[in-house]
A and B are shown apart, each in its own frame.
Chain A
């Protein structure tokens, strides 16, 4: 089962994080669970690499962080999408769709 997982292609982690927090503010652990859940366990995210990515996105102003209370009543850091983050997400999403469509087309043509 472990071998069935795919390592995340370079640069897609940001996209996944943005997509995940687009629905509602989330803390880091929830983001990692959510990504794994949605991708049905196929994508393997080294949990540690999530946090540098979050901090990088925060620095770029695409997400903003604030401390809140988690579902089990503990203090947690929540990340939410900013306006600029939303635009970035749209752009990256459409880029991704065009890329995968093109790749699929090439693969299907052979």
Chain B
């Protein structure tokens, strides 16, 4: 066995030596044979002839010996590779075009697959991620509502299927006493949160059970980034305190930077505080919806269905025990990964299939090039066949060449992908969850390898089979021109495939563009241009102040904002912000029967704003009046509703002067009188708002916030500012103005309203741009394809066209002849493409807005574009055909 291996290796690596030995051995034999015949008295010529007869073909014998040594496959491969490289080097124009075409196709596939891999395929970065679920309260018209703190505690106690559950709520703190005052992003969590996710603190410990109870001593975990940036990465920070919102929190530990899920509610924060310390007076209220959501880890071996059944039991018992608050409240369990990436899955799969189509077109193009090139090689292969090369041998040689091309394309493609992915993600950071986990890893490279090999075989096989099938004596007789008719049919079929594929992509992109166009045309109900939103925090001292002091401080801010250059009007806001944050309330209309419990009350979105709000966002006033400066803390509580609220709860009756009762205990005020009706704003996004169940809107005056709530606003309130046309919408100007009051007023997280609107469409735009790029790429490749085929055709028909011209055909006839052929192919391709698109675009209907997946206008336009491009691509060769000189063309034959 070992000697066999040694032999094989020797044969493989010392090929030249082994070959020389074989030559020597066979030469020795022939010489002895000739000597024998000479000795028998024959002439030299006779001796040589007899020897050759007895011995057989020298090359065949050598080949059989090589085969007998058993290194044939590898050696052949090496020879094929060497030969293939020579062929490719010998024809650099062809090789460069083929490699580039493939690199684009494979590169785009690699880039997109690396995104799919990072976002969809890789497990979440936690131990046993399959056990993790997102937890929510299901409410009568809202499947993923927030979990109240008391319910969470009961869920924690009563469930039997989770090894742990935890809740989180995003919040913010203002840090003082360590350099400049700074607003920090924080996550309030229950004590099991970190152990549940398997996150070990870099330093110190995470929260212990009980430290997350209401009233526990203030403690905090800091993120590694914050620790390095603000605390100088000091190892002795444990036990020190941080002053947050004017209160001292003891540092317990440091959370490693690796923790966090981008674009999800547990994304990177500066601080982690126990949920019990979250300073909201409604926290202990069982019915309060405070934006708290949960995460659970299923006990080993428990299925999602079992956990759902278990939570069904838990919530049923709670509904029986607390009918006031918990009637109709259930639990929603969603696999965590679905929750994080579920939304982008269809989009990414759409893009992946689109980019697959691009590669298909690239392959077809290269196959076409190979076919065209085979003209020159038909003779070569015929000769080789005549000399005894088997058909399989020829196919293998050709496939080796095409796989070589694909490998080169793949290598270049990976480089392109590495660059392209980074560029795309850098340009659109907000569009994708887990974007930070995207990159080239082993799986992506394996994918690329597989795709390259498959591509090589795909585009190599058809030309290879076709060439090798050509009958060699026929070819030799024809003087090397080969079976042109069959090849032409194959090329035409290729072009039809390309056209059809390009058409499908163009239609997909067209539909996305139309959707986005429709969305941009959608009136959000307000005018976002020249509006800036930001958060403002009052100085930490105000956080312990009474409501009147806070109100006074906000009035100072309002006054101060008037000095900001270019500012037209502004409004503080403490509830929902259109497209950005949500807030809701429970109510019933006065004069109607009081609901028995909260779940029978009605829901509305809540906006707590100042008189300038309507003008700032340019929301139309439809009836009555909006708030004015007289709607203060000491005047009658008033409310304004939107048109949908009016229609939903009053129908045709007049809502003005009706009263709304608010759910006592959960909301701040008790009741308010409706004084006006305004236009509806699209809270849930330009596309999603129509589908949402919670759309009715109630506006309440900021200054009428009850004292308990007003005190809370010192921590942070939103401000909306409209600037004059042409004036800079600049956060810096606002900051400078606020600095005129005190250095402790903070403004942060400023964002232009147009940016918020545009961000709400970011995922759509991202996919539209990508799909558009892919479609353009496909169209370009396809037109190169049809250009190539038409040029080839004109070359082939030079003689025929020459004869026609000689017989009196006009140039226009020639033009018609050439264009007609191209357009016929394009129309056939378009027809196939339209049929395919009718079937395929239905799959993307979930991603469209305001346009049907079979929108005739889009289809018609795209077909028109395709045919125009075809005509353009055929025109150049057609012009060449028109210029054919009949005498030259005929002489050439």
Contacts and interface: CB of A to CB of B under 8 A. Distances in A.
Our verdict on whether A and B bind, yes or no, reads yes
Interface of A: 27-29, 32-33, 46-49, 51-53, 55-56, 58-61, 70, 74-77
Given A46-B55, A55-B68, 19 more contacts: A27-B28, A28-B29, A29-B32, A32-B29, A46-B56, A47-B55, A47-B56, A48-B56, A48-B58, A51-B65, A52-B68, A55-B65, A59-B4, A59-B68, A59-B69, A60-B4, A74-B28, A77-B21, A77-B25
A83 to B, nearest CB: 12
B7 interface: yes
Nearest to A84: B3
B65 A52 contact: yes
Given A55-B69, A61-B3, A75 B57 contact: no
Nearest to A56: B68
A95 B317 CA distance: 87
A29 B28 contact: yes
A12 to B, nearest CB: 17
Contact of A70 (B8, B28, B36): B28
A53 B32 CA distance: 19
A88 to B, nearest CB: 15
Interface string B50-63: 00001111101100
A75 B24 contact: yes
B67 interface: yes
B76 interface: no
Contacts of B67: 52
Nearest to B69: A55
Interface string B5-18: 00110000000000
Contacts of A61: 3-4
Given A29-B29, A59-B68, A76-B28, A48 B21 contact: no
B267 interface: no
Contact of B64 (A49, A59, A74, A75): A49
A8 B28 CA distance: 24
B70 interface: yes
Contact of A58 (B7, B29, B57): B7
B33 interface: yes
B318 to A, nearest CB: 80
Contact of A59 (B25, B31, B32, B70): B70
A47 B64 contact: no
B68 A49 contact: no
A45 B753 CA distance: 94
- Majority secondary structure of chain B interface residues (helix, strand, loop or mixed): helix
Interface in B69-83: 69-70
B29 A75 contact: no
Contacts of B4: 59-61
B24 A59 contact: no
A77 to B, nearest CB: 5
A29 B29 CA distance: 5
Contacts of A32: 29
B320 interface: no
A103 to B, nearest CB: 29
Contacts of A70: 28, 32
B856 to A, nearest CB: 70
Contacts of B55: 46-48
A75 B29 CA distance: 11
A49 B61 CA distance: 7
Interface residues of B, number: 27
B60 A48 contact: yes
A74 B24 CA distance: 11
Interface of B: 3-4, 7-8, 21, 24-26, 28-29, 31-33, 36, 54-58, 60-61, 64-65, 67-70
A55 B69 CA distance: 6
22 contacts: A27-B29, A28-B25, A28-B29, A33-B36, A48-B58, A48-B64, A49-B56, A49-B61, A49-B64, A51-B25, A51-B61, A52-B65, A52-B68, A55-B68, A55-B69, A59-B68, A70-B32, A75-B24, A75-B28, A76-B28, A77-B24, A77-B28
Contacts of A27: 28-29
Nearest to B67: A52
- Majority secondary structure of chain A interface residues (helix, strand, loop or mixed): helix
A58 B36 CA distance: 27
Nearest to A70: B28
Closest 6 CB pairs of A and B: A48-B56, A52-B64, A55-B68, A48-B61, A56-B68, A52-B68
B756 to A, nearest CB: 75
A56 B68 CA distance: 5
Nearest to A50: B29
Q: Which of B3, B26, B68, B69 has the most CB of A within 10 A?
A: B68
A27 B56 CA distance: 19
A27 B32 CA distance: 11
Contact of A47 (B21, B29, B70): B29
A70 B27 CA distance: 14
B640 to A, nearest CB: 95
Q: Which of B21, B32, B56 has the most CB of A within 10 A?
A: B32
Contacts of B33: 29, 47
Contacts of B24: 75, 77
A66 to B, nearest CB: 11
A49 B33 CA distance: 15
Nearest to B57: A48
A53 B67 CA distance: 10
B57 to A, nearest CB: 7
B444 to A, nearest CB: 42
Contacts of B29: 27-29, 32, 47, 51
A59 B26 CA distance: 18
A84 to B, nearest CB: 10
A58 B64 CA distance: 14
B18 to A, nearest CB: 10
B52 to A, nearest CB: 10
Nearest to B25: A77
Contacts of A53: 68
A46 B54 CA distance: 6
A47 B54 contact: yes
A69 to B, nearest CB: 11
Contacts of A51: 25-26, 29, 61, 64-65
B146 to A, nearest CB: 76
A28 B61 CA distance: 13
Contacts of B8: 59
Contacts of A28: 25, 28-29
Nearest to B21: A77
Nearest to B29: A29
A86 to B, nearest CB: 16
A77 B25 CA distance: 6
Q: Which of A27, A52, A74 has the most CB of B within 10 A?
A: A52
A52 B69 CA distance: 8
B7 A52 contact: no
A33 B40 CA distance: 15
A68 to B, nearest CB: 11
B53 to A, nearest CB: 9
A43 to B, nearest CB: 13
A75 B28 CA distance: 8
Contacts of A59: 4, 7-8, 68-70
Q: Which of B4, B55, B67 has the most CB of A within 10 A?
A: B55
A93 to B, nearest CB: 23
A47 B29 CA distance: 9
A80 B31 CA distance: 22
Contacts of B32: 29, 70
Contacts of B36: 33
B159 to A, nearest CB: 70
Contacts of A74: 28, 31
Contacts of A52: 61, 64-65, 67-68
Nearest to A61: B3
A32 B55 CA distance: 11
Contacts of B69: 55, 59
Nearest to B62: A51
Contacts of A48: 55-58, 60-61, 64
